[in-house]
A and B are shown apart, each in its own frame.
Chain A
């Protein structure tokens, strides 16, 4: 019994440790969101609540502009749906590797924290996902996200611009740390990464009037489909 408790604790702390770079990256991104939200006429508390209840960057930024423009609630729902629909794909992917301990209540709680970054770390770093691991990563990431929002909203000018600029690359650095090592070992992953990057560059140049969330779905699904056809994953590997 004691042993089991220690095990779940270590799951939580391993998740929290993996959450540190996400939390730090979120701190800087949400700092910018806090400044924008207050600049658009929201209170510090409202900005904080948006970050706490949404935990997403593009959707929140777009949501604030709907609020500022006095859009309808229907428009708000539609905008959120289109920008955030990519999370449905990520949730589906994660649902395939959940541990038996993931009961209904754990699923209801943990799904709150499925963001691009948390999804990426959970998929690439873990073979089987445990609730405590996800709670660890979500706790640290969310803490960074709401703290950054609060600081940006309450005192946007405290950090020098050079520091904010340098923090902007932090999450991307973490992404590279996730994709480069497996791409070295597996040609399928290397192909997926290079092909997706190529499509993404093409979209950036030619499809400038399409939203970022939509471009992301388009490029990543296209790259993954082609890779799955050329490099089907072997049946006998771990499940």
Chain B
């Protein structure tokens, strides 16, 4: 019973944070600075999440570095998301077999 209350609080707080700005902010932003800021934020967020975390992501620096290199090369040549993601994982896996 108590666990259900915990889960409900988690769900409601998390949902409200996502829902309120998404639903009620319907105005178009005019400021060029804010527009530029919102334009760059996704890339900054992704970069922050990826580096340095990607090097810790497999529990082994060598397999992670190989996976990162594979992903970088394929991403550079514009391969689809799924191809790059699977290449990172499978090259890390194969490297893991040898060390």
Q: Which of A's residues lie within 8 Å of B, judged by CB?
A: 17-18, 20-21, 24-25, 42, 46, 49-50, 53-56, 59-60, 63, 66-67, 73, 76-77, 80-81, 84-96, 104, 107-108, 110-112, 114, 116, 119-121, 123-124, 162-163, 165-184, 188-189, 192-197, 199-201, 204, 215-216, 219-221, 223-225, 227-229, 231-233, 235
Residue of B nearest to A216 (CB): B48
State in angstroms the CA–CA spacing of A179 and B67 once bound together.
16
Residue in B19, B36, B54 whose CB lies within 8 Å of A111: B19
Residue of A nearest to B8 (CB): A53
Count B interface residues, CB 8 Å.
Answer: 74
Residue in B5, B41, B82, B97 whose CB lies within 8 Å of A73: B5
Q: Are A80 and B3 in contact (CB under 8 A)?
A: no
Q: Which of B's residues lie within 8 Å of A, judged by CB?
A: 3, 5-7, 9-11, 13-15, 17-23, 25-26, 28-29, 32-33, 35-54, 57-60, 63-64, 67-68, 70-72, 74-76, 78-90, 92-93, 96-97
**A59, chain B: closest CB distance, angstroms:** 6
State in angstroms the CA–CA spacing of A111 and B31 once bound together.
25
State in angstroms the CA–CA spacing of A181 and B7 once bound together.
40
Q: Are B52 and A201 in contact (CB under 8 A)?
A: yes
Residue in A73, A221, A225 whose CB lies within 8 Å of B6: A73
